Amino acid sequence: MSSLTVPLNVNVDAKNKEEATRILKDLGLNMSTAINMFLAQIVKTDGIPFNIVNPKPSKDLLEALKEADDIMSGKVKAKGYKNIEELKEALLSDD
């Protein structure tokens, strides 16, 4: 049985294509080879060859965002600094 190739036309974001083409070139690959590798991995793994998930913020990040909201709304008082030197001084003080 001979291998038959067929054309594949897809629409992609122009900036993503440009950046991907640059990266692939650095790897010594062209777009066609990379897409063929991707399709081969789909067949071999019987699915998408990487995790596709909705990112969920960590508990620490959620707490930090809540604290920032509380500071911004005035619910929590926080010390502000006018410049980096003032911040450094506060960080290095024993208070």
**Residue 1's pLDDT band (boundaries 50, 70, 90)?**
low
**Residue 2's pLDDT band (boundaries 50, 70, 90)?**
low
* Per-residue pLDDT, 80: 87
**Interatomic CA distance for residues 38 and 49, integer angstroms:** 8
Is the pLDDT score of 94 beyond 80? no
Q: Which two tokens stand for residue 30?
A: 């062209």
| Residue pLDDT, tens place only, 16-57 | 999 999 999 999 999 999 999 999 999 999 999 999 888 899
Whether 70 contacts 76, CB under 8 Å: yes
Sorted by where each begins, the domain ranges of the chain are 1-52, 59-92
**Interatomic CA distance for residues 24 and 34, integer angstroms:** 8
